[in-house]
């Protein structure tokens, strides 16, 4: 399964890429918010078909002008990306979590154990692939 990773810290980026690849996931790494947005929604602000990933991991504090939460907010404006599972990682205080509930994301606080990340990824992808009993 293809996973996107938006992380600007090279050491964390490489560690997560290797761990997730060892678990059998194809990992596309984005070092900047602009690179992720360009790949996922393009210049026309519409998601490419088919979507190149099934889950996205985003760091909260990215270098540059766009934060991880702003990336997520932009992604959520695209209908095809409104249900994309997203994990937000951060070493920051989670005081802003109530303000982020409308983004429908999972949170993982740094530092985290790699097993925590792998379990969260696995659980989100499994729940995404489960048929909706209401349909």
CA-nearest of 37, 18, 35 to 27 is: 18
SS3 content of the chain, % helix, strand, coil (to 5): 45, 20, 40
- For the chain, the average pLDDT equals 87
Please indicate, yes or no, if residue 131 is contained in any of the structural domains: no
Phi-psi sector, 132: left (phi>0), alpha (psi -120 to 50), beta: beta
> What 8-state DSSP symbol labels residue 77?
T
Kindly state whether residue 46 falls inside one of the protein's structural domains: yes
Note whether residue 98 is domain-resident.
yes
> Does 134 reside within a domain?
no
Q: Report which DSSP code applies to 123.
A: H
Within-domain flag for 101: yes
Mean pLDDT throughout 95-116?
79
More confident residue, 104 or 76: 76
Q: How many domains does the chain have?
A: 1
pLDDT at 7 over 80: yes
Q: How far is CA 105 from CA 22, 24, 44, 115, 128, in A?
A: 24, 23, 24, 19, 13
Question: pTM surpassing 0.75?
Answer: yes
Domain-embedded: residue 85 = no
The secondary structure element, H or E, covering residue 89 is strand 86-90
Task: Establish if 45 belongs to a structural domain.
Answer: yes
Is 36 domain-assigned?
yes
Q: Which domain holds residue 102?
A: 25-52+75-80+93-109
Mean of pLDDT values over 42-71: 85
């Amino acid at each position: 399964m293809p996973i996107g990773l938006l992380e600007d810290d090279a050491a964390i980026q490489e560690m997560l890429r290797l761990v997730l690849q060892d678990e059998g996931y194809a990992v596309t790494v984005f070092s900047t918010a602009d690179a992720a947005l360009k790949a996922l929604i393009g210049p026309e602000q519409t998601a490419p078909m088919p979507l190149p990933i099934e889950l996205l991991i985003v760091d909260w504090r990215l270098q540059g002008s766009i934060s991880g939460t702003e990336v997520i907010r932009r992604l959520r404006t695209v209908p095809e990306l409104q249900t994309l599972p997203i994990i937000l990682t951060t070493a920051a205080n989670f005081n802003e979590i109530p303000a982020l509930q409308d983004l429908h994301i999972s949170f993982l606080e740094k530092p985290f154990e790699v097993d925590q990340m792998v379990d969260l990824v696995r659980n989100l992808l499994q729940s995404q692939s489960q048929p909706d009993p209401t349909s």
